[in-house]
Every structure is written in C-alpha cells, then in structure tokens.
Amino acid sequence: MPERLNAEKAGLHAIPLFLCLACTLLLTGAAAFVAHAQEPDQNAAARMMDDLMWGRGNIGGPFDLVDHTGKKRTDADFRGKLLLVYFGYTYCPDICPADLLQISLALDQLGMAGDEVQPLFISVDPERDTTTVLAQYVSSFHPRLIGLTGTPEKIRTVANSYKAYYAKYTPPNGGVYLIDHTGFTYLMDRAGKYLGFFPPGTSADRMVEIIRPYLASH
C-alpha cells in the first residue's frame, strides 16, 4: 500500500484509479476462470491477476506477430502512440465485443486527438482467428483497430508478458470450445511502457477521462 500511495503522489495516478474499480472484478473473476481452466496449473489465473493488481514484475514487452492484413508487426511499429491493448478472440460471445465497442466509442469521443491512440486486439485463439477472420471482425468495430495473431507459442509469450490469462475450455457435453480469458484493456505509453489497465466493462467516458491527460502531456 505505501508504494501505491507514493506513486500517486508522484503523479502516477492511473494505476491506483484503475485498481480501485477493478479489485472486486479481479477477485470474483479469478474464481470463475480457475473453475473452467483446463491448464495443468489451475492457479495461473489467480496468480496473474494478483500480480497485475499489485504491479508485481514488468507488464508488457516486445512482440512479433501478424496483423489482420497479413503484415508482420512488432511492438516497435507503434512507438510514438498510446496503446490500448486487448486480449480476446473473435468467437467470444459477450465480453470481447462489449469492451471493443467501448474502446471504439472512446476513440470517436477523442476526435482528432484519438489519432494518437492505437487500439490493438490480440487474439488468444490463433487456431480459429486467421488473418481473414480477424479482418472481418475488427472492421465491425473501428477502422483503426488492428487485429494481431501469430503462432500459439508467440501468443502465449506476449500474453504472459502482459499477465493476461487464457485457457481453452470445452463444454462437458462437447460442442464448440470457448476460451476463458481475462478481459483487461492495457494502457501503454508512447514508448511502450505500462501505465495501467481498464477492467472489463469500463465505459468509453471513463477511458476518455483517463486517456486525455496523457495526450495533453505530450
């Protein structure tokens, strides 16, 4: 707690603001994700969310993926812009489209200033989310939303660097598999450094409120 208070006094207010809103969602969500997880380590979700909430270790890092047009993309391509990074998948029935809609609305509310913010949608379902599928999906939200995919190994690496949990879940009665995943939107600065996160369900108005000071300080 003292470290967070010192950070706030230093002007690094974004993380505490997000955390105040996120604590209940994090703790509630951890139980649900662990219950469905099919990975050997079923405590992974709880550990990752706990690390994210308390800022343990580095968050974010380099990546080497492919965008929805088939173009190779790395984190260096987006230097000079604020990033909104979201991990999800196109078959997601609820939280992904809801959060991507709010991200899109936030960009529209920012107007021309929104050109300085780059939204990224990183698929945690590379098996189904081909570049063609991603292209159709991101076009449903915002013209500047970039979809990213890659090999399962590369997706796992970048997700781990952001402490973003996901695991395949097949219903007991069979059928189409789902992906259990955390639903945070990560805010990164113009140099690719972590600023904070928006919890699932954050409104466009709230995003704009947090993002505007970072745009003004450039």
The mean pLDDT value for 4-13 works out to: 32
pLDDT in tens, 129-151: 999 999 999 999 999 999 999 99
* Res. 94: pLDDT tops 70: yes
Residue 126 CA: distances (Å) to CA of 35, 104, 156? 23, 23, 10
**Domains of the chain as residue ranges with CATH:** 2-216 (3.40.30.10)
Q: How far apart are CA 111 and CA 106, in angstroms?
A: 9
Residue 218: per-residue pLDDT: 66
Residue 173: per-residue pLDDT: 84
Residue 171: per-residue pLDDT: 83
pLDDT in tens, 26-42: 433 443 333 344 443 55
Residue 42: per-residue pLDDT: 55
DSSP letters along 94-138, please? SHHHHHHHHHHHHHHHHGGGGGGEEEEEEES-TTT--HHHHHHHH
Q: What's the chain's average pLDDT? A: 82
